[in-house]
Structure formats: structure tokens, C-alpha cells
Chains A and B, each alone.
Chain A
């Protein structure tokens, strides 16, 4: 167009362009606080010029594009940093919770308090108030373990709840993303503009999705995006969304696993998720919470087993053998829900046999070909060992893989069936003090040797020699050269006599051990040497083993007798041994005592918490870096918009003035005619 109308039309285009630019600027200003909004720039271009009189005359301007200032690289950085940061933050928070539970419970103090109470009983074995206090300490200890175990369990339930919330958020987000994909596809067909707001919304949803679980975004060439989980499974493909769901674990119905609902049914993807809140929760549960629960259970199991075992070696105030003080939760065994129905009648029971071999790991037991069972680590899947076990006459197979526990299988199990074994998970939650009568604490030694013969309740000593039987101790196996005594009775009724048949002053002397007139065993002792060990066998297991006393001396008279009787109320040998358990290595192959093990557990959790804290801080700063990089590119700067306002306002005013000039020209032209 040329002439006055050309001027007016051209200015009009400028006016319209300025108007539209102002609209875009106004949109930017209005959306300054909208999360995920990328600023929009107006790109103007000239319209097609006209060729008139040998010259090209421009025809004004047009809005070529409302361009979204967007860098997919920077946005991708924000997405992956979000996944990393929220995952690390979730892990760190969870570990702080676990650490808070364990450190506030002051397990070490309670353990020490209990053993200190035992030492008091050792100092006053027949004093009832000291015994009462020891039982009180035992109660406090078992309550502490129980409460800590329950608190950890509650954290586990909290994780389950959070997982459910996360999975439902993920499903919601994927559905929304799929819908947006659809809308964007529809809008892309209309003209050559891009639906900026929809794209921004979709990006924001993807950021939120990454916060929940780490995903990978792949752009298709029609401005569609596909979203994949970190193991490659599709979450969103075009306008179709696939969903995740939580389902009970195949072994333990109380644990939730995450499954993917694909075309062929649901697939368990728990081990494959990483990043985001969901990934953080799963990592927290498998790498921090379950080991902490197992470690606490192991500690409880160990202390209870040692104390109960020591009780079984001594006599209580009533003169009978000691019974258990503590009871702990047993070995948990779950059958896989997909085991064959032929195995439904099988019963598996686990017991702990050797505390030193327990590791605090969980295991999967599976039955292989020809009756060979395989034990593998539940978290890594590595095979630990295989065994066919020993089959008893009743058809019960006993399996022991040297990991501190035994499994007894009764009934038939089909090949390929699997079972989850958690040896120490319930140790702490199930810990109880089952003894309430203080006189049942077994403080007394089972046997005492006194020179002389017991006659109507009095000890009469007519020995000519100087043979003595020392105070005894527990040994688990009998050594070479020891004289083993079976059938002495525990607790002993009456007394037994160790009698020398003839006198001697050098060489060796022969003796017999007789109880109630029956000769139980005989042996010899070398005079003047370190002596001969007399190993009195405990009839039951626990405790198994022997009570070993040492017979020594240099001179024997004919028919010299040493009486063996049960320890009385003032004997403190067993209480002493029980108090010494506090410094005895029980755990980890016998290298850790109870306090060292408790410290190790706490140190493990503390170190994990420290690492998680550092990681969370590092990831948070990576996220803020990524965010500020993205913001600096795509964020709205109000000062910039203010400047733009002025820019386009002036352009508008100028264009309006140009129109007004055009009008004036036209008026003068009209008036001239």
C-alpha cells in the first residue's frame, strides 16, 4: 500500500504490534510468580514489502512469533537435580528419625545398668532387695528394646503410607501429563504458534513428577514427550498414561512394594526405582531401616541368649536350676505368596543357635533339585551356601547354613519354592522379661567341693592328705585328660563323694566319684602337678557343656574324701559369671561385647545419617544451581518487563502519532479538494 493509506496502514500495523507486545509483556508481569512459567518474547518481523515505482516500500510489521524463552538442556538439569535432591532429602530426614529413636533410647546405658545390677547380686547373692533391683533393671532393659523396636516399626509403617501417597501422586501426575500431551497435540495443529502455557504446565508437572520419582523424558518430534522410569518402563507414552500401584510384598504382607501395571499384568519394580521421594523411601527402608531393626534385634537376641544361658548353668535360691529371664521375638519365616499349593501344608520353624554367627542380614531360602536347599542374601541375591540338611526319623529336615540359625522343615515343599527368613527382625519388639520372682535368679554355682564327708548334715573332715577341688567354671567341651562325670544330677540331690582308694605321696593317685552309693566314674590325678580336670556334664542343653573343677594336691591319705554338694544361698559363682558377660565377646564371631555391639549399631546409623545429610546438602545446592541457571534464562525479570512496557508504550504512542499525522495529511488533502 502506498500513500496516506499506506502510512496509516503501516502505522496501524505498528500500533497493533505494540498492542500485542504490550499484552505479552503484561502476561509476563502477571505470571512473575507462576511456578514453571517461562518468559515470552515477542518477535516482530516486517510484512511483505510492495514494489512501487522501482522501489520497495515496506508495509509495516507483524508479530512473527510469541517466543517462549526456554532451554530444554537447562530444564533437563532441573528435572534430574529435583529427583536427586528430593531423594537425598527424604533419605536424610528418614535417617534423622531413625537416629533420633536409637540415640534417645540410650540402649548402652540400659545395658550397663542391667549388668551393674547383676554385679550387685553377685556381691549379695542371698539379698532379696538386690535381686528385686536386678529384675527391675531387666524389666527396664526389655521395655527399652521393645519400645525402640516398636518405634522403628512405626517408621516402617510411615514409609508405607508415604509410599502410597507418592504412588497416587505419580499416577495423578502421569494422567495429567498425558492429557496435556493430548491438548498440545490438538493445539499444535492450529496455525504455527506454540501453546506456550500448556508447555509450561507440562514442564512443571514433570518437575513435580521428578520430585516423586526419578524419570527420564524423551521428546518426540511432534512436541509430544514420553516419560520413562529409570529402568526403562513407560510411564507416559503420548496421550496414554500407565500407572503404578502399591501391593503387599510377596513374602510379608505388611511391607508394601511398588508394582507397574503393564499390559501383561503387574510387575514388581521395587528394586528398580531410584531418585525422587519414592526412590528415597525405598532406599531408606532397605538400606537403613531394615538393617537398623535387624541390628537392634540381634543385640536383644544376643543379650537374652547369654543371660538365659548363664541362668541355666547355676542354681537359684530355691535350689533348682535357673530358668530364663528374658524372652525375645523368634525367627520370622514367610512363604512366598507365589509358592505352589503343594507346599501349603509345609511348616517352617526357625531358631537361633549361635549368636556369634548372626549377621543381621535377611535371607531367602529356596528348595532346589534333589532335596538341596539354597540360602541367598535377601538384599543382594548372592548365594550364601547350599545344604541338604539332616532328616530326622519323623521326616523333619533340619537346615543349618552356619549363619547362626537353624530352620526345621516339616511337610513337603515343592521344588522352586522360596521362603524369606528374617532371623533377628523381631528380636527387639518381642523382648520381654518373663521372670518375676527374685529368688529365681540363679546366682549359685551348681557344685562345690569340700574336703570331708557329709554326715547327717555336717561336714566331717578326717582327710590325712591335702587334696583340694577348686571352684569351677563352665567349659563347652571336655579336654584331653579330663575326667567326665555323667549322671550327677543337676540340681544335685544329696551329695557325691570323690574318694581316693589308697594313699600316695608321689606319682599319681586313683579316685572314684560316687553318688548315692553308685560309682559314676573313676580317674587318676598326678600329685604335685597342675591337677586333673573334673568335668561334670550338664544333663540338658541349654546349657550343654560341663562344669569344670580342678583336683590337685601333693599328698593323699587312704580313703581321703572330698564331698561334692550343690552351691547354697551364699554362693555367687554363677552371678559373677553373669556379671562378667558384660565384657565378654558374644557378637560377630566373638569379637564384640554387648556395649561394643550397641555402639557399632549406633555408629552405623550415625554414619549413614551423616552421609545422607552431606548428600542432601550437596544435592540441594546442585538443585539451586540448576534452578538459578534455568531462571536466569527463562525467568521473568520485572525490571526488564518495566523497560519493555516503556518501549512498547512509546512505540504505541509513536504509531498512534503517525496515524494522527496520516489523518492530518488526509484532512489537508480533503480540504484542499
Chain B
């Protein structure tokens, strides 16, 4: 085929330019290590690389939230550990003081100790994290949630809001506990009803009857009666003038003044100290029972009111213990009052321990979940990064070989060009 002179030049030139362009592209790849310097060369790999990059960044965001979550959970857990230790100390003190032989100076020391314990509990409840935020205030994190009043009561100024963080796709982990759920809303009494001694039960010359916290026999009947109906029961233990003991259980509804508007006796009988008294439900069969100790003085009736348990804060329990210690000492009435108070406090402490253990168990399982999600996300991230690098990183041996080949091809094209230009008939004529 006939080739014009212009064409000879053009063909040689375009060959050299082509090789130069390939060489340039390869050297760019070598210097950046990135195979996708020109995304248009490989749109599929580029788009996959973009998607992977987005998912990796997403996982890293989850991992960061995960770290915050674990930090918060660990702080809460260690604080609750301290609270638990404090409660054990208080429990020991209560048991120690539940003794007829303690005197007023022992009680005075106990009161001072308990006041210190109460302040320490308030301090623990007002724990702040590294940023100065109160961790048990619900959504009120910038001011103290628990305020200790002059009369040993503690007010809660936060709410029930709980923070949660997303640590994985569709995986929200609670990372905080609302202060009222931990410290304030502890079920009083045995969880269904609580026992309160009448104020006139203990004085100089009174008897020694105390009523334990009680147990529930028929839960649904008890819940219905106490909570739904709002019924209250009064257990009265009497000793007549000659010392014969009897008891009576009457039911009623709470009256406005805090007393009981009785509507009739539902059960009665002879009382022997240490007896377990049954509280009959609406159908007549027993739904709860309470254990009575001691006995009233002759001619005295000691009454106890059973009402639905209200939420009782741990602070209130501590301050009830202080009140029990303030009951006095030295005479049977005072000892019985103290014993009654301590019995209620011990029951409350046990409820509080159950509650706090429950919270700690929840925190523990959340921590475990966070840790396992963290390691899962971490291995996913590594996997994605490997895939991404296989898409977008060059294989050095391959590119270096291509570069050598291109370089050789360019040299060959240049040499061929020079050779062909030398061939002209004009050199011979």
C-alpha cells in the first residue's frame, strides 16, 4: 500500500506520543501508589471504592460512639459499686444497733455515722464525669440532681431521661441510668405493701410488739387489693387487762388525714408472740402474711397499717435509720420502736440492693455487648480496608513491569523513527 511522506512522519510521531502518554500515566500511578488516579479508566472499581470508604467511615463513627459508651458505663458501674459497699456498711450498722443493750452514746455515734453516710451517698449520687456533667440526673446534667435538705430529705431535680448511643446499624445502646430509677424509685416494704407502726405504739410503759415486713402469698389478689383498689389493712394486737393476747385484722381505705377509715374486721384470733398473721384477700383466702414479734403491755393495743408500697428513695431509708436511732433507748418501748424502724430499714435496704444489683447487671451486659460489637466492627473495618486497598492500590511489581515495557517500547519507537527518516531517495541522487 502506498504511503505518503506525511503519513510516515505522522505514524511514527503518533506512536511515540502514545507511548509517552502511557509512560506518564504509569509514572503517576507509581508515584502516588493509587491505581485510580484516572477514575474514568475503571468506573466499577472507583464506585466500589467510594462505597467502601463510606462504610469504613461509618464504622469508625460507631467505634467512637462505642468508646464513649464504654467509658460512661464503666464510670456508672464503679460508682454503683461504691454505693453497694456503702449500703453494706449501713446494713451492718443497722444490725449492730438492733440490740436492746445499746445505750444512748452508742446511738449518738451511730447517728453521726449515718449522717456522714447520707452525705456520702448524696455525693455519690451527684457524681460527675470527665466533662463535669452529672451522670445520674437524667437530662439535667448541668446542675446537681440530688439536693440534700436540712431535714435529711433529698429532692431529685432531674428526670427519667436515658441517653443511648448508636454503636452499630440499628443498634442503640443505653449508656446512662436516670438517677430516680437508681436511687429514688425503690419499691417500699416488700414491693407490694409496706408496714407502718402507729405513732402511739411506743412510749414509756408500752409493749414490745413489732410487725415484720411481710410476704405476699397471692400476688395478683394482693396487687389488685393494695394497688388497684387502694385498700389498706390494719393489724391490731391487743392485750386486755389480764394479759390475754389477741389480734384483729381490719380493712378499709385510706382516709384523708392519713389514718384508716376502717370498714370492718376481716380476721381475728388469739395472738401468740412470734405468730405469723394472715391477711385475707377479697375472696377470703390469705393473700399475704406478716410476722409479729413481742406483745403489747396489758391494756394496750398496738396497731400497724399495711398499705400499698410507695416508691422510697435510698436517702429516705438512710434517714429513717437515723430516725430509728433517735427513738431513744433504755426502756422496752424505745427498743421496740427502734427494732420496728430497723426492721423496715433492713427490708428497704434489701430492696435497694436488688434494684442496684439489677442496674449493675444491666450495665454489665451493656458493656459486654459494646465490647463484642466493638470487636466485630473492628474486624469488619479491617476487611473493608483490605478490599478497598485491593481495588485502589497498585500492585507495584505489575506496574513497574508495565513501566519497563512502556519505556522499552518508547525507545524502540524513537529508534525506528530515526531509522525511517534516514531512508530517502534524495540521499542517493
Interface residues of A (CB under 8 A from B): 32-33, 39, 95-96, 99, 103, 108-109, 112-113, 115-116, 119-120, 122-127, 444-445, 448-452, 457-465, 471, 503-506, 555-558, 563, 565, 567-573, 576, 579-580, 582-583, 595-596, 598-599, 602-603, 606-607, 609-610, 612-613, 624, 627-628, 631-639, 642-643, 645-646
B290 at the interface (CB under 8 A from A): no
B162-197 interface with A by 8 A CB criterion: 162-166, 169, 172, 176, 178, 180, 184-185
Q: Which of B140, B159, B227, B309 has the most CB of A within 10 A?
A: B159
B425 at the interface (CB under 8 A from A): yes
B220 at the interface (CB under 8 A from A): yes
Q: Is the CB of A555 within 8 A of B228?
A: yes
Q: Is the CB of B223 within 8 A of A583?
A: no
Q: Which of B5, B155, B308 has the most CB of A within 10 A?
A: B5
A582 to B169 Cα, complex, angstroms: 11
Task: Decide yes or no: A570 and B165 within 8 Å by CB, A458-B155, A602-B46, A635-B4 being known contacts.
Answer: no
Interface CB pairs A-B, < 8 A, 29: A109-B57, A113-B57, A119-B165, A123-B64, A123-B165, A125-B141, A445-B139, A448-B160, A450-B160, A451-B160, A452-B311, A458-B157, A459-B157, A461-B311, A463-B311, A555-B228, A565-B159, A568-B158, A570-B138, A572-B163, A579-B61, A579-B166, A598-B54, A599-B51, A603-B46, A606-B40, A627-B10, A642-B424, A643-B425
Given contact pairs A458-B156, A459-B159, enumerate 19 new A-B contacts (beta carbons under 8 Å): A39-B4, A103-B46, A448-B159, A450-B138, A450-B160, A451-B180, A463-B311, A465-B227, A557-B227, A568-B139, A568-B161, A582-B61, A595-B54, A610-B40, A610-B42, A624-B10, A633-B2, A636-B6, A642-B429
Please give the distance in Å from B90's CB to the nearest CB on chain A: 22
B31-80 interface with A by 8 A CB criterion: 39-43, 46-47, 50-51, 53-54, 57-58, 60-62, 64-65, 68-69
In the bound complex, residues from chain A placing their C-beta under 8 Å from that of B3 are 628, 631-632, 635, 637
In the bound complex, residues from chain B placing their C-beta under 8 Å from that of A113 are 57
Q: Which of A463, A565, A568, A628 has the most CB of B within 10 A?
A: A568
Q: Is the CB of B142 within 8 A of A570?
A: yes
Q: Which of B1, B172, B228 has the most CB of A within 10 A?
A: B228
Please give the distance in Å from B16's CB to the nearest CB on chain A: 14
A126 to B133 Cα, complex, angstroms: 8
Nearest neighbor of A569 in chain B, beta-carbon distance = B142
A567 to B142 Cα, complex, angstroms: 13
Nearest neighbor of B36 in chain A, beta-carbon distance = A103
B137 at the interface (CB under 8 A from A): yes
B7 at the interface (CB under 8 A from A): yes
Task: Decide yes or no: A607 and B227 within 8 Å by CB, A448-B159, A463-B311, A570-B137 being known contacts.
Answer: no
A444 to B140 Cα, complex, angstroms: 11
Q: Which of A471, A505, A555, A563 has the most CB of B within 10 A?
A: A505
A119 to B163 Cα, complex, angstroms: 13
B230 at the interface (CB under 8 A from A): yes
Q: Is the CB of B68 within 8 A of A610?
A: no
In the bound complex, residues from chain B placing their C-beta under 8 Å from that of A555 are 223, 227-228
In the bound complex, residues from chain A placing their C-beta under 8 Å from that of B101 are none
Nearest neighbor of B45 in chain A, beta-carbon distance = A606
Please give the distance in Å from B72's CB to the nearest CB on chain A: 8
Q: Is the CB of A505 within 8 A of B163?
A: no
Q: Is the CB of A464 within 8 A of B308?
A: yes
In the bound complex, residues from chain A placing their C-beta under 8 Å from that of B54 are 108, 112, 595-596, 598-599
A119 to B160 Cα, complex, angstroms: 22
Q: Is the CB of A458 within 8 A of B147?
A: yes
Task: Decide yes or no: A445 and B156 within 8 Å by CB, A555-B223, A580-B166 being known contacts.
Answer: no
Number of B residues with CB within 8 Å of any CB on chain A = 75
Nearest neighbor of B187 in chain A, beta-carbon distance = A466
Please give the distance in Å from B264's CB to the nearest CB on chain A: 21
In the bound complex, residues from chain B placing their C-beta under 8 Å from that of A108 are 50, 53-54
Please give the distance in Å from B428's CB to the nearest CB on chain A: 9
Q: Is the CB of A603 within 8 A of B50?
A: yes
Q: Is the CB of A503 within 8 A of B58?
A: no
A39 to B6 Cα, complex, angstroms: 12
Task: Decide yes or no: A459 and B158 within 8 Å by CB, A119-B65, A123-B65 being known contacts.
Answer: yes
Q: Is the CB of B5 within 8 A of A638?
A: yes
A556 to B58 Cα, complex, angstroms: 44
Q: Is the CB of A576 within 8 A of B165?
A: yes
Q: Which of B7, B14, B155, B227 has the most CB of A within 10 A?
A: B227
A334 to B216 Cα, complex, angstroms: 79
Task: Decide yes or no: A609 and B40 within 8 Å by CB, A120-B64, A504-B228, A631-B6 being known contacts.
Answer: yes
In the bound complex, residues from chain B placing their C-beta under 8 Å from that of A576 are 164-166, 172
A471 to B139 Cα, complex, angstroms: 12
> A-B pairs with the 10 shortest C-beta distances?
A635-B4, A570-B141, A568-B139, A571-B139, A609-B40, A458-B155, A595-B54, A450-B160, A112-B57, A642-B425
Nearest neighbor of B40 in chain A, beta-carbon distance = A609
Please give the distance in Å from A36's CB to the nearest CB on chain B: 11
Please give the distance in Å from A291's CB to the nearest CB on chain B: 16
Please give the distance in Å from A155's CB to the nearest CB on chain B: 16
Nearest neighbor of A449 in chain B, beta-carbon distance = B160
Nearest neighbor of A554 in chain B, beta-carbon distance = B223
Task: Decide yes or no: A471 and B166 within 8 Å by CB, A462-B311, A639-B425 being known contacts.
Answer: no
A108 to B52 Cα, complex, angstroms: 11
Task: Decide yes or no: A603 and B47 within 8 Å by CB, A126-B141, A471-B161, A568-B138 being known contacts.
Answer: yes
In the bound complex, residues from chain A placing their C-beta under 8 Å from that of B7 are 627-628, 631-632, 635
Q: Is the CB of A505 within 8 A of B224?
A: yes
Q: Is the CB of B39 within 8 A of A606?
A: yes
A477 to B226 Cα, complex, angstroms: 39
Please give the distance in Å from A166's CB to the nearest CB on chain B: 24
In the bound complex, residues from chain A placing their C-beta under 8 Å from that of B43 are 603, 606-607, 609-610
In the bound complex, residues from chain B placing their C-beta under 8 Å from that of A642 are 424-426, 429
B186-244 interface with A by 8 A CB criterion: 220, 223-224, 226-230
B401 at the interface (CB under 8 A from A): no
In the bound complex, residues from chain A placing their C-beta under 8 Å from that of B41 are 610, 613
Q: Is the CB of A32 within 8 A of B311?
A: no
Q: Is the CB of B223 within 8 A of A596?
A: no
In the bound complex, residues from chain B placing their C-beta under 8 Å from that of A457 are 155, 157
A631 to B6 Cα, complex, angstroms: 8
Task: Decide yes or no: A503 and B57 within 8 Å by CB, A126-B142, A555-B223 being known contacts.
Answer: no
A240 to B224 Cα, complex, angstroms: 106
Please give the distance in Å from B401's CB to the nearest CB on chain A: 23
Nearest neighbor of A642 in chain B, beta-carbon distance = B425
A635 to B3 Cα, complex, angstroms: 8
In the bound complex, residues from chain B placing their C-beta under 8 Å from that of A461 are 180, 184-185, 310-311
Q: Is the CB of A569 within 8 A of B139?
A: yes
A583 to B170 Cα, complex, angstroms: 10
Q: Is the CB of B53 within 8 A of A109?
A: yes
B380 at the interface (CB under 8 A from A): no
In the bound complex, residues from chain B placing their C-beta under 8 Å from that of A39 are 4
Please give the distance in Å from A443's CB to the nearest CB on chain B: 10
- Partner pick for B139 among A122, A127, A448, A628, CB 8 A cutoff: A448
Q: Is the CB of A471 within 8 A of B162?
A: yes
A465 to B11 Cα, complex, angstroms: 93
Q: Is the CB of A639 within 8 A of B6?
A: no
B131 at the interface (CB under 8 A from A): yes
Q: Is the CB of A32 within 8 A of B6?
A: yes
Q: Is the CB of A631 within 8 A of B4?
A: yes
Q: Is the CB of A464 within 8 A of B147?
A: no
In the bound complex, residues from chain B placing their C-beta under 8 Å from that of A122 are 65, 165-166
Q: Is the CB of A645 within 8 A of B5?
A: no
A637 to B6 Cα, complex, angstroms: 8
In the bound complex, residues from chain B placing their C-beta under 8 Å from that of A613 are 40-41
Q: Is the CB of B140 within 8 A of A569?
A: yes
Task: Decide yes or no: A123 and B139 within 8 Å by CB, A109-B53, A459-B158, A556-B228 being known contacts.
Answer: no
Task: Decide yes or no: A33 and B40 within 8 Å by CB, A123-B65, A464-B227, A567-B139 being known contacts.
Answer: no
Nearest neighbor of A458 in chain B, beta-carbon distance = B155
In the bound complex, residues from chain B placing their C-beta under 8 Å from that of A458 are 147, 155-157
